[in-house]
Amino acid sequence: MDTSSAPLPWALLPDNASVGGDGQLLIGGCDTLELAAEFGTPLFVYDEDHLRARCREAVAAFGPGVSYATKAFLCRAMARLAFEEGMSLDVSTGGEYHVARATGVPPERLVLHGNNKSVEELRVALGEGVGRVVVDSFDEMARIEQLVAGGLAPPRVLIRITPGVEAHTHEFVRTGQDDSKFGFPVYSGDADRALARAATSPAMELVGIHAHIGSQVFEAQFFELAVDAVAGFVNAHGLPELSLGGGLGVAYVEGETAPTITDWAAAIHRACEANGITARVTAEPGRAITAAAAVTLYTVGTIKDLPGIRTYVAVDGGMSDNPRPVLYGSGYETFLPRAVQAPRLKLVTVVGKHCESGDRLVVDGRVPEDLQVGDLLATPVTGAYGHSMGSNYNKVLRPAVVFVRDGDARVVVRRETLDDLLRLDVLDPQGSE
């Protein structure tokens, strides 16, 4: 059946999406048209109960050691939500660590990642008693040993290895292959040497192995291959913990499917059992928690029809609030929230307002034929790596973020103002008063 003009696939919307009396999209009982009128556009709208349900699913699937990968989406409200639902938090920079701690998340519930942790980042984390450090290089080991020699307590560490598994995903988000900036490669013997050094160093308490094969992985078999690759290390060293990182894909466009968090965990546990792994197995889901929980609302400002070529629909955001299409060629669907179930007969390319020809949010997307300037236009599945990877390119203001639940909406990240763009500027002496 030809689905090219069909309404938006409902599975791409948040759990608590519904249709209002006038055919408009409701999320968490809130009318998206009213949200746009009240909070402005662009606007990230998150279904709070969707987020909570995915956190609870992760804890049920992996146990209390499972960590939310904050790089997917982080603000204080999100950090608090994940912590309240029983997750630890995976942070990969001093900034992410600071936001989590400012929210009140205890340091022992944080896992510090990163391929180039600075001395200062390590000093703060070790000084506060961070729960785990995922060690990524010999240079980092030297920094930890220096800090412990200076009086800080030895941290519990996992050694991140690259198992030589090349996941079928975009080259920029593959991390498990031999040619990677992350971890200690198995093929060169560095993984063995790192484990030996951590096991004998008085500056580290070696508790486990970490392996992450990439992001937006749709096939559970690749995670099983990762388990096969690291099983020998884990079993040989008798280590109590094994983290398979994150990377579970989500469906962004019609026709895509992905395992649930429960399915993903089941595949990993089966592979561990088959390999005789008795270590506690954990993971770090991020995208799978947040991506489908949100939609982004835009206002259409310009419609430019180029006969025989394409129709450009320009909105008031762009690559500054969703750089994934530019970075990875990522696909998205588009629809009109005022008529969420309407057939989408008109083929368009949705573009942003930035001074870049590549500023395309949706190439060959579909919308109803009555699209007009001033309409509210939305892209679903934007809850991960939109806000978190956003920028102020062209000095475009960063959007607000609202959480909706039971008919109530609350701002968790306010919209930037023009004055915010000047907050960090320092005038030179000639320009100062």
The pLDDT assigned to 174 comes to 38
CATH number of the domain within which 118 lies: 3.20.20.10
The pLDDT assigned to 229 comes to 78
pLDDT greater than 80 at residue 132: yes
pLDDT digits (tens, 9 = 90+) for 211-249: 887 667 788 777 787 788 788 878 888 899 999 999 899
92: tokens are 């990969």
**Is 391 part of a structural domain of the chain?**
yes
**Is 144 part of a structural domain of the chain?**
yes
The answer on 192 and 81 residing in a single domain is yes
The pLDDT assigned to 172 comes to 30
**Is 231 part of a structural domain of the chain?**
yes
The pLDDT assigned to 177 comes to 56
Among the ranges given (66-80, 123-137, 220-234, 292-306), the one the predictor scored with the smallest mean pLDDT: 220-234
The pTM score is 0.94
Rounded to whole angstroms, the Cα distance separating 207 from 128 reads 19
The pLDDT assigned to 429 comes to 64
The answer on 126 and 262 residing in a single domain is yes
427: tokens are 């005038």
Q: What residues are labeled active site?
A: 355
**Is 66 part of a structural domain of the chain?**
yes
Q: Give residue 166's pLDDT band: very low, low, confident or very high (50, 70, 90).
A: low
The pLDDT assigned to 355 comes to 95
The pLDDT assigned to 4 comes to 65
Rounded to whole angstroms, the Cα distance separating 204 from 198 reads 6
Rounded to whole angstroms, the Cα distance separating 293 from 311 reads 29
Asked if residues 79 and 89 have their Cβ atoms less than 8 Å apart, the reply is: yes
Q: What share of the chain is helix, strand, coil (3-state, %, to 5)?
A: 35, 25, 45
The pLDDT assigned to 87 comes to 98
Chosen domain end from 290, 319, 346: 290
The answer on 299 and 273 residing in a single domain is no
pLDDT digits (tens, 9 = 90+) for 372-386: 999 999 999 999 999
Mutual orientation of helices 48-62 and 261-274 as an angle, nearest 10°?
Answer: 10
User: How much is the average pLDDT of 203-213?
Assistant: 91
Q: Which amino acid, residue 223? A: F
User: How much is the average pLDDT of 352-360?
Assistant: 95
The answer on 259 and 222 residing in a single domain is yes
Q: Looking at the 3D structure of the chain, how many domains does it have? A: 2
**Is 1 part of a structural domain of the chain?**
no
The pLDDT assigned to 227 comes to 83
The answer on 109 and 25 residing in a single domain is no
Chosen domain end from 235, 258, 290: 290
The answer on 366 and 266 residing in a single domain is no
Residues 25, 31, 36, 39: what is their CA dihedral angle, to the nearest 10 degrees? -150
Residue 160 belongs to domain spanning: 48-290
Chosen domain end from 274, 290, 306: 290
**Is 233 part of a structural domain of the chain?**
yes
pLDDT digits (tens, 9 = 90+) for 396-424: 999 999 999 999 999 999 999 999 999 99
Rounded to whole angstroms, the Cα distance separating 298 from 287 reads 22
Reduced to 3 states, what is the DSSP secondary structure of residue 398? coil
What percent of the chain has a predicted confidence (pLDDT) above 70?
94
The answer on 200 and 84 residing in a single domain is yes
**Is 429 part of a structural domain of the chain?**
no
**226 compared with 53, residue with greater pLDDT:** 53
Rounded to whole angstroms, the Cα distance separating 254 from 257 reads 9
The answer on 338 and 193 residing in a single domain is no
The answer on 320 and 241 residing in a single domain is no
Whole-number average pLDDT of the chain: 92
The answer on 325 and 338 residing in a single domain is yes
Q: Give residue 58's pLDDT band: very low, low, confident or very high (50, 70, 90).
A: very high
**Is 159 part of a structural domain of the chain?**
yes
CATH number of the domain within which 313 lies: 2.40.37.10
pLDDT greater than 50 at residue 171: no
291: tokens are 């991506």
The answer on 300 and 249 residing in a single domain is no
The answer on 82 and 17 residing in a single domain is no
pLDDT digits (tens, 9 = 90+) for 283-310: 999 999 999 999 999 999 999 999 999 9
The pLDDT assigned to 178 comes to 66
